[in-house]
Structure 1
Amino acid sequence: MKMLFETRPRRRSLALGMLVMVGLLGLPMGAATAAQDKDDPIQALGLKVYQQSCAECHGENGEGSQLDYPHPLHGDKTLEGLTTYIDEKMPPGFEDEVTGEDAEAVARYVYDAFYSEIAQARNAPARIELARLTVDQYRNTVSDLIASFRGRGQWPDERGLQGEYYSDRGFRRDRKQIERIDPELNFDFGIGVPDGDTEKFDKRNQFSARWQGSLMPPESGTYEFVVWTEHAVRLFVNDERTPLIDGWVQSGDDRERRASIPLLAGRPYRIRLEFSKAYQGVRKDDDEPEIPATIRLSWVPPRRAEEVIPSRYLSPQWAPQVFVVTTPFPPDDRSVGYERGTTISAAWSQASTDAAIETAAYVVEHLNDLAKVKDDDPEREIKLRDFAASFVERAFRRPLDPEQRDLYVDRQFDTSPNTETAIKRVVLLALKSPRFLYHEIDPELDPYAVASRISYALWDSLPDDALMKAAAEGRLETRDQVAEQARRMLDDPRARAKVLDFFRKWLKIDDIPDLAKDPELFAEFTPEVISDLRTSLELFLEDVIWNSDAADFRRLLLDEPLMLNGRLAAFYGADLPEDSPFAPVAEGIGQRAGLLSHPYLMANFAYTSESSPIFRGVFLARNVLGVRLRPPQEAFAPLAPDLHPDLTTRERTALQTSPESCMSCHALINPLGFALEHYDAVGRFREQDNGKPIDATGLYQTRTGDTATFEGVRELAAFLAASDEVADAFVERLFQHQIKQPIRAFGPETLPDLRDAFVTHDYNIQTLLVDIVAESALTPRQSAELASTGE
């Protein structure tokens, strides 16, 4: 950039200086077609200045040019903000070249012609794209499709597992001595018996125990289960016949057993742990010490350390078996900030075929259970045909007409050598059909299409029976009717799992490969602390979104307490007993403001040994304020502290980003990140950096051109919580995560209308989710292009 200023004529440099800084904060789009009102003198002046001074570098219609500036001039500032930016932010040497009326005229022309959201919608209309199921949607849909024939497990309020204790090595009913709910399985019985009641149990202290119920995984992925005991043990997960871990015959000194299994979030899985304390066939002499009895059930969730399974993920309620597709899929495209299924590669096509084969094999293996039929039933084939028809209807999310039933069901039974082969063919045909793979393939706005839009918006899965019944009875025709169903479905764990997944992506949690820090500086920042921090963050999110009817988004930015357990409290300076469970703590942890200063995020947006105002500023700009930042033009590495040992992190950052080519973006990024300098590389509060007092002052120029100033996280949080830009950004990101479509494709007023309703309803996240579903489900897909242009 500096070279362009030095080598080109003054007038061309002026154009670049005026518009490049604006364009660098824009959103890459296609070429625009400028629209002008030639009778408007301000527009005419702006057009003249633009054509004379700007078009050579930025294109006739702001589309950019390959030689000088390849990015189109698009952005999200208001007209006033754009005018102020041009008027005040010219580079050194050109501060007085475009001011006052000239700046206003150029800004007005650029804004109306191709910069603003309305201009972008006019020149390059967003469309509701035909999209296949994403990988998560595919797995969820197949799992719930199978579950629809078994029933889904419930998730009541009571936590823990049902425990039964027996006074012998087996599980005879007449030997049951204790029945209770155990919140978690982490017991050291020593050489005695449960509760120390020797009269109820075997005089040689032998006993057995069985715990059962269900567990709810907090996110989808592979879970490793770990059982530690000196005695016989069996663990069953999602299967009541075949143990995941079988240590019923103890051998040697092996005390720990591990096994892994894939699980989907939002679905309860049956679990049973059987334990038997005995002497393992060794005769006990009077002088030989008795083997103690210890039993611990742990797991290793995705991207976390091992932990005893917390009670919040356990229920005494028994759950049916859940089918989980294990076929690997290539990842979905996330280049636009959310997963979408807009392309089909050869790898994805093969994966969907392999998954259909896997599902068909499972259906045949469990056919009698799913179809509720017996081998010797004289009407077995008739019932299997009905089951097959129901399977296809549920897969397609709508009733079959006679021709479809003939193609997908009857013809397969008529031409197959046996019923099992017919069922396999039905399942394969259904799961490879576009009617299954594309949940919005029918453009008509009929009740069943609306039902699918509701269920995929909230669950990433197919409609349940209640929603299908509402569609069949014509109760999905109005916004209020859609909202009623959405409110009901928000109570389902699948809705909560999808919303939590949004926050993991919005906060960049799933992008964290490794939070390890310099061991010489942060030796106590262990994998267990990191795992606890992730739990702390998710407990905070759950508390804000689901544990209060208010579900106030502003709490995410303003709440002062941190969710800490004993281990985290010791690391972050709070006064809690070592074995304390998670609880909100505000004392001893320094100034805090919700997510903005949560240690997990502060540690993520930092280097291994020091903070990073740049990482933190980029996160605030892009994810919280919704600014469209472009990637840096060159690879970036921070200045090593050893090169400038007397400087603070803030001072080194300011030094490194001082060139003009950097400041076009860092003039926005740095002041936001500087406000978080009270937090070190692991998120601990500090008053000094390198022996100097922390300077946590910062500023931000809003879209309207106003400059907000703040010092420290509390003032930053107060500004962000009241910002329309933050509300806009959150609404847009949540909409696109839930709907998997661009929000502008639903009309130019969709975002401002949803934002205004969000503010009116006191920033209630649950109400916003309902409004998003009600807004999107009734939008006719065939008129998407007209909707995006406002026609």
Structure 2
Amino acid sequence: MPVVLALAMVALSRPVQGDEATKGKAIYLKQCASCHGLAGEGAEDYPHALVGDKSIKELAKYIAKTMPEDDPGTCVGDDADEVAAYIHDAFYSSVAQARNKPARIELSRLTVRQHQNALADLIGSFRGSMEWDGPKGLQGDYFKSQRSRQEDRLIDRVDPSVQFDFGVNLPGSDEVGHRFFIRWQGGVLAPDSGDYEFVVRTEHSVKLWVNDLEKPLIDRWVKSGKDNEYRETIRLIGGRVYPIRMEMAKGKQGVNDDKKKGPPPPTPASIALLWKRPKGVVETLSARYLSPKKTPEVFVLHTPFPPDDRSMGYERGTSVSRAWDEAATDAALETAGYVVDHLNRLAETSTDASDRREKVQAFCKRFVERAFRRPLDDEQKQMYVDRRFGDGVDLEIAVKRVVLSTLLSPAFLYQEASANPDQYDLASRLSFGLWDSIPDQELLEAAAKGELKNRDQVAKQAERMVNDVRTKAKLREFLLQWLRVDRVADLSKDPKAFPEFDEATAADLRTSLEMFLDDVAWSDGSDFRRFLESDELYLNGRLGKLYGASLPADAPFQKIKLSDEPRAGLLTHPYLMASFAYTATSSPIHRGVFLARGVLGRALAAPPAAVAPLAPDLHAGLTTRERVALQTSPKECRMCHDMINSVGFTLENFDALGRFRKEENGKPIDASGTYQATSGESIVLRGPRELADYLVKADETRTAFSQQLFHNLVKQPVNAFGPDELKKLATAFEKADFNIRKLMVEMMADSATASRQPAEKTVAATP
């Protein structure tokens, strides 16, 4: 204690502003510093820093009720108000934190996603642009023979999916057909990165190609046995369109043991193309993911990387480990092998061409330039290309050396953090911000022509890029992270309580959520408020039965408004309600944490100890609200749970499946709550509609969304771009009628053209 008192005396000798600040500081040093540290940094018994986003009023209330720990209730009234004001201004609030430790741009390596995308686009730049003309389906060409002759063509159309039972007739005809041939082709969009299982069901000959139109993924052209279902798995990168082709041939099949009775009757013909997405279930490959346009093959990196740091809520490449370094080397080796295997096509030459060496060397120069995102100077050209092609060096060996040295260079692996970026730097900032990848040819040409000199020129490029399928994939990934459902692996429910809920239902709910996100984000208005206000759901026949919509059992997904239910967009979406729930009961705590952290952007301390929920069986007469209130009644829980519980209770009208209910255990549902805003205002909320009405108008909501989206796009702290940057973005968001795509353009124009401060820390470059 003497040491603490001595330090307190030193601290008190420092200049303070105003008698009130002096008194608050004196109270803090006397009653709080021994546990929380002189500047709220924490101490041995209380290691967590005293930082957060509570208002002065909230802090004062908590201090009066619970502090100091060894003698609660002795710091009340004006004393509590003054010490709360001092703490808030000195080190607790976000403003104080920014003042005490200004955020800086950090030199960063490529994240795992950026590494995969950059290599895919680097190889892809030598094959032509990725094509997407969906969601529509696949181009289907039907022929009345087993050969694709023009004179035998029956049908030429776009099929939304491949799910047909032709019976014994020719497709699209009443004519009985022994033989026909069908080819479906186009592109398939992979929404997530991971392993995809493709499934084909048919009684006849079939081949399926995915991302490699030379080697079939499934080849059952020569059938043996009675198998009618075929499965194969392939790894795909999310946000990419892959070439796909499937061919089916029906021969003159049938059995007739009595030759006198004539030829055998034709056999029926059916075919279905399905897939299983990562962590999904087998389902029809629908038009949502299909395009009739042909698209080039995509290079998919298979090398596993250690996961990126997500301690700040978004992927960051701010550290290098031995595991990452080894993975980067393995990835370079894998890519070099792929380039050599496909060298003639990539370099547009042939093995016996007289000018093959010159063309390959020219290809290597372009490869390095695109990897480095800028033209090479003479020294770089000599180092990375020319010296690899010495006399007597095998051509393939030279190419491997070029690829390896390029992909292990800091110029490829790291993003610049220059305070004075040139136009190629600006192009990279844009492309990695919106695509998590390297610039395309149009961006590089704009940089070369000096057309990225000012903010308006950069914004024009961002407006072009924001509608790209890669941006859509990145925004989709962000929205799932924002909703805290990006890593939901299991949505199982108690079969006794919900016997009608199974894997297929869970997959349908996920699809319903994704369709709603796409609808809002990519509609004409792209209005963020619809996320919170919409009273419509996407339901199909299976979900309609479960959630009370009058739909045929086989009805496809469509927008439905459930009457007499206070739905409020994402806040009450069944997938989120089921995700933030236990297997048999709702969970106001999980729902409250989502609302507080995700939607309102509030900082929540880690719970002091892991506490199991009170089992419903032990308190059979209590509602979920009553059990949660009982469980979180101890003093050490109240600091956070006063807010968490209160906002979570507003969603209690929805059970563990997200179905609307008016009572639980024979008692009416109490969906009321209160929320104390960071401004200190206390808001009464009665159910989800009042919650949505408040969130739509609250500064906290638009600020939290803007901050999280900025971090996801730019992968740097927003405060590093200026103390007023977040406020500026939130204001621009409101002025643009909450248009999400316009906000993305604003963010990229601001961050790309900002003059950057020197990096606060550096990362060791890979040699």
TM-score (norm 1): 0.91
Match of 2:171 in 1: 194
Q: CA deviation at 1:546?
A: 0.4
Match of 1:49 in 2: 27
**Secondary structure at the counterpart of residue 212 of structure 2:** coil
Match of 1:504 in 2: 480
CA contact (8 A) 1:81 1:706 kept: no
Aligned residue runs from structure 1 range 156-167, under 5 A: 156-157=133-134, 159-167=136-144
Paired residue type of 1:57:
C
Q: CA deviation at 1:442?
A: 5.1
Paired residue type of 2:473:
A
Deviates more, 1:171-180 or 1:391-400: 171-180
**Secondary structure at the counterpart of residue 232 of structure 2:** strand
Q: CA deviation at 1:154?
A: 1.7
Question: After superposition, what is the alpha-carbon deviation per residue over 1:416-475, rounded to whole angstroms, capped at 9, x for unaligned?
Answer: 622111111101111111110102265541111111111000000000011111111112
Q: Is 1:213 aligned to residue 189 of structure 2? A: no
Match of 1:320 in 2: 296
In structure 2, C-alpha distance between the alignment counterparts of 1:49 and 1:93, rounded to whole Å: 15
Equivalent position to 1:278, from 238, 248, 251: 251
Q: Is 1:117 aligned to residue 94 of structure 2? A: yes
**Secondary structure at the counterpart of residue 190 of structure 2:** coil
In structure 2, C-alpha distance between the alignment counterparts of 1:628 and 1:321, rounded to whole Å: 44
Residue 58 to residue 616, structure 1, CA distance change in 2 (3 Å)? same
Deviates more, 1:623-632 or 1:414-423: 414-423
CA contact (8 A) 1:616 1:673 kept: yes
Paired residue type of 1:741:
Q
In structure 1, C-alpha distance between the alignment counterparts of 2:614 and 2:63, rounded to whole Å: 31
Q: CA deviation at 1:167?
A: 1.4
Residue 483 to residue 79, structure 1, CA distance change in 2 (3 Å)? farther
CA contact (8 A) 1:597 1:683 kept: yes
Deviates more, 1:246-255 or 1:33-42: 33-42
Q: CA deviation at 1:265?
A: 2.4
Q: Is 1:580 aligned to residue 558 of structure 2? A: no
Question: After superposition, what is the alpha-carbon deviation per residue over 1:701-728, rounded to whole angstroms, capped at 9, x for unaligned?
Answer: 1111111111111111111111111111
Match of 1:179 in 2: 156
Q: Is 1:226 aligned to residue 199 of structure 2? A: yes
CA contact (8 A) 1:35 1:112 kept: no
Residue 377 to residue 455, structure 1, CA distance change in 2 (3 Å)? same
What RMSD over aligned residues (CA atoms) do the two structures have, in Å?
2.3
CA contact (8 A) 2:142 2:156 kept: yes
Residue 158 to residue 519, structure 1, CA distance change in 2 (3 Å)? closer
Residue 415 to residue 726, structure 1, CA distance change in 2 (3 Å)? farther
Q: Is 1:680 aligned to residue 646 of structure 2? A: no
Q: CA deviation at 1:172?
A: 3.0
Aligned residue runs from structure 1 range 379-418, under 5 A: 379-414=355-390, 417-418=393-394
Match of 1:22 in 2: none
Equivalent position to 2:543, from 565, 568, 575: 568
Deviates more, 1:120-129 or 1:500-509: 120-129
Quote the sequence identity (%).
Answer: 52
CA contact (8 A) 2:198 2:233 kept: yes
Q: CA deviation at 1:77?
A: 3.4
Residue 314 to residue 56, structure 1, CA distance change in 2 (3 Å)? same
Question: After superposition, what is the alpha-carbon deviation per residue over 1:734-769, rounded to whole angstroms, capped at 9, x for unaligned?
Answer: 111111112222221111111111122221111111
Match of 1:16 in 2: none
Paired residue type of 2:269:
A
Q: CA deviation at 1:204?
A: 4.9
Match of 1:789 in 2: none
Residue 55 to residue 416, structure 1, CA distance change in 2 (3 Å)? farther
Q: CA deviation at 1:566?
A: 1.2
Match of 2:521 in 1: 545
Q: Is 1:38 aligned to residue 16 of structure 2? A: yes
Residue 459 to residue 135, structure 1, CA distance change in 2 (3 Å)? same
Match of 2:406 in 1: 430
Paired residue type of 2:129:
R
Deviates more, 1:476-485 or 1:532-541: 476-485
Q: CA deviation at 1:267?
A: 2.2
Q: CA deviation at 1:337?
A: 0.7
In structure 2, C-alpha distance between the alignment counterparts of 1:85 and 1:569, rounded to whole Å: 46
In structure 2, C-alpha distance between the alignment counterparts of 1:782 and 1:316, rounded to whole Å: 47
Equivalent position to 1:265, from 238, 251, 260: 238
Paired residue type of 2:213:
E
Paired residue type of 2:23:
L
In structure 1, C-alpha distance between the alignment counterparts of 2:14 and 2:691, rounded to whole Å: 40
Match of 1:17 in 2: none
**Secondary structure at the counterpart of residue 48 of structure 1:** helix
In structure 2, C-alpha distance between the alignment counterparts of 1:784 and 1:428, rounded to whole Å: 28
Q: CA deviation at 1:634?
A: 1.4
In structure 2, C-alpha distance between the alignment counterparts of 1:361 and 1:138, rounded to whole Å: 17
Q: Is 1:75 aligned to residue 52 of structure 2? A: yes
In structure 1, C-alpha distance between the alignment counterparts of 2:613 and 2:57, rounded to whole Å: 35
Q: CA deviation at 1:108?
A: 2.5
In structure 2, C-alpha distance between the alignment counterparts of 1:49 and 1:778, rounded to whole Å: 46
Aligned residue runs from structure 1 range 514-663, under 5 A: 514-548=490-524, 550-588=525-563, 590-663=565-638
**Secondary structure at the counterpart of residue 385 of structure 2:** helix
TM-score (norm 2): 0.94
Residue 639 to residue 88, structure 1, CA distance change in 2 (3 Å)? closer
**Secondary structure at the counterpart of residue 179 of structure 1:** strand
Q: How many residues are treated as equivalent by the alignment?
A: 750
Residue 406 to residue 729, structure 1, CA distance change in 2 (3 Å)? same
Paired residue type of 1:249:
V
Equivalent position to 2:211, from 238, 247, 268: 238
Paired residue type of 2:590:
F
In structure 2, C-alpha distance between the alignment counterparts of 1:292 and 1:425, rounded to whole Å: 56
In structure 2, C-alpha distance between the alignment counterparts of 1:441 and 1:725, rounded to whole Å: 30
Aligned residue runs from structure 1 range 696-707, under 5 A: 696-707=671-682
Structure 2, unmatched stretches of 5+, are 6-10, 762-767
Aligned residue runs from structure 1 range 273-422, under 5 A: 273-279=246-252, 286=261, 290-414=266-390, 417-422=393-398
In structure 1, C-alpha distance between the alignment counterparts of 2:82 and 2:499, rounded to whole Å: 59
Structure 1, unmatched stretches of 5+, are 1-7, 13-32, 787-791
Q: CA deviation at 1:38?
A: 2.6
Match of 1:29 in 2: none
Residue 284 to residue 503, structure 1, CA distance change in 2 (3 Å)? farther
